[in-house]
Amino acid sequence: MKIDLAVLGRRFERHQTEYENAALRVLRSGYYVLGPEVEAFEQDFAAYTGAKYAVGVNSGLDALRLSVRALDIGAGDEVIVPANTYIATVLAVTENGACPVFIEPDACFGLSAEYLAAAISPRTKAIIVVHLYGQGADLASIMEIAKAHGIPVIEDCAQSHGAHFARRMTGRFGALGCFSFYPTKNLGAFGDAGAVVTDSAELAEKIRMMRNYGSKVKYQNEIAGVNSRLDEMQAALLRVGLRHLPEEIEERQRIAAEYREHISNPWLALPKKREAAEHTYHQFVVRSKHRDDFQRYLKEHGVTTLIHYPVPPHLAQCYRDLGHQAGDFPLAEEMAQEVLSLPLFNGMTQEEVQCVIDLCNDYRPILGGDEG
């Protein structure tokens, strides 16, 4: 059976009429960028997260880089980031001229609070926490340390729409919560889109200005902003997606529960659950010492998987100048060698779920001399 990592068209097909009606409404409205649909989506999304304000922007990266900038972070400043994140988290720091300080992950793929306090210096101006794969990081410990040092937290929620920690939604712990609505995300647009949520009227206003050339009033440019506007089409389609997000998260959780219950193979480690967190399974990530062999085996049987992520940012070619070497963050590097995301998507059939389970259970690695 051929199974892709994600089949986004199934989400569309399920709610096709609603999406088509929303798209037609925009086409006929005469408003195409920053109009009533964006305003309505911002209100809907703020209400969904419980934040006072939501500001729509062009992407998750823009949500992050404008958030870093809104905190007046720039050259000479340090920002703490997890060593096992997607490159965008780090780009948001370096694009502002600041220096990323990497921290090892804990066993649940979140920034490890254990290493955090030691990494804080007088130059630390923010901590970016990433709720990787849809599971909240250790927010209780991280927020406590951040508060004790008076350092603002930015949450990278690109993968954690609707995920909770201690019954509070991710994105609601730090000064700013940054979301991506890239099509593969749990709440996905039909192009690029993102948003920042915050309870601060001042930060919301600043980001609102920055996304639109630094102006509140047309042609009055108070700050040197950027063009990171959300368009009406994406906003209208996101409003449809948002209405169905709770049931779609439940569906992902049901599939993940089946994987957890039925995948049993000593050569594979299932993702560890954090006690206080509610996982929304943006990705279902297993670990294997034989990851590349396992991925090849699944491919041979028609199942597509993906590695999130094969190169940790400190070893990325673009960050050679930071001077890091292999071995600097051994836990993050080990993860990069072992993680594999299995197919899990809305509209996945029972046969597809069962096929992934059976293949996982049947897997045996090709062993070298002293293994096995």
Q: Which residues contribute to the site for ligand PLP (CB under 6 A)?
A: 59-61, 85-86, 88-89, 130, 156, 158-159, 180, 182, 192, 194
Answer whether 82's CB lies under 8 Å from 132's CB.
yes
User: Are 279 and 163 within 8 A, CB to CB?
Assistant: yes
Nearest residue (CB) to ligand PLP, 82 versus 363: 82
* CB-nearest residue to ligand PLP: 60
Q: What is the dihedral sign for C-alpha 147, 281, 59, 34?
A: negative
Question: Which CB atom, from 92 or from 356, has the smaller least distance to ligand PLP?
Answer: 92
- Which of 249/360 has CB closer to ligand PLP? 249
The residues, ordered by sequence, that sit 6+ positions from 144 with a Cβ below 8 Å of its Cβ are none
Q: Alpha-carbon distance 180 to 57, whole Å?
A: 9
Beta bridge partners of 176: 154
The identity of residue 290, as a single letter, is H
The CB-of-234 to ligand PLP minimum distance in angstroms stands at 11
* CA-derived radius of gyration, the chain: 21
Q: Which is nearer to ligand PLP, 335 or 360 (CB)?
A: 335
What are the structure tokens assigned to 228, written together? 């990171």
Burial class (CB in 10 A: 0-12, 13-18, 19+), 205: middle
Q: How many residues does the chain have?
A: 372
Residue 163: CB minimum distance to ligand PLP, A: 12
Q: Determine contact, residues 122/146, Cβ cutoff 8 Å.
A: no
Beta strands, E only, 71-138: 78-82, 99-103, 124-130
CB of 257 to ligand PLP, least distance (A): 23
> Residue 38 has which token pair?
């964006």
Task: CB nearer to ligand PLP: give 41 or 182.
Answer: 182
Are β-strands 99-103 and 339-342 bridged in parallel, bridged antiparallel, or unpaired?
Answer: unpaired
- Residue 70 or residue 158: which is nearer to ligand PLP going by CB? 158
Is the Cβ–Cβ distance between 273 and 371 less than 8 Å? no
In angstroms, what is the minimal distance from the CB of 282 to ligand PLP?
Answer: 8
- Residue indicated by tokens 């279902």: 284
Closer to ligand PLP by Cβ: residue 274 or 290: 274
What is the nearest approach in angstroms of ligand PLP to the Cβ of residue 69?
Answer: 15
Residue 248 or 352: the one with the smaller Cβ distance to ligand PLP is 248
Which C-beta is closer to ligand PLP: that of 158 or that of 209?
A: 158
Query: Rounded to the nearest whole angstrom, what is the least distance from the CB of residue 101 to ligand PLP in the complex?
Result: 17
Cβ distance to ligand PLP smaller for residue 152 or 194: 194
Peptide bond between residue 309 and the one before it cis (omega within 30 degrees of 0): yes
**The amino acid at 307:** I
Q: Which residue matches tokens 């720039």?
A: 74
Answer whether 203's CB lies under 8 Å from 51's CB.
no
Beta carbons within 8 Å of 243's beta carbon, 6+ residues apart: 18
Q: How far apart are CA 68 and CA 129, in angstroms?
A: 13
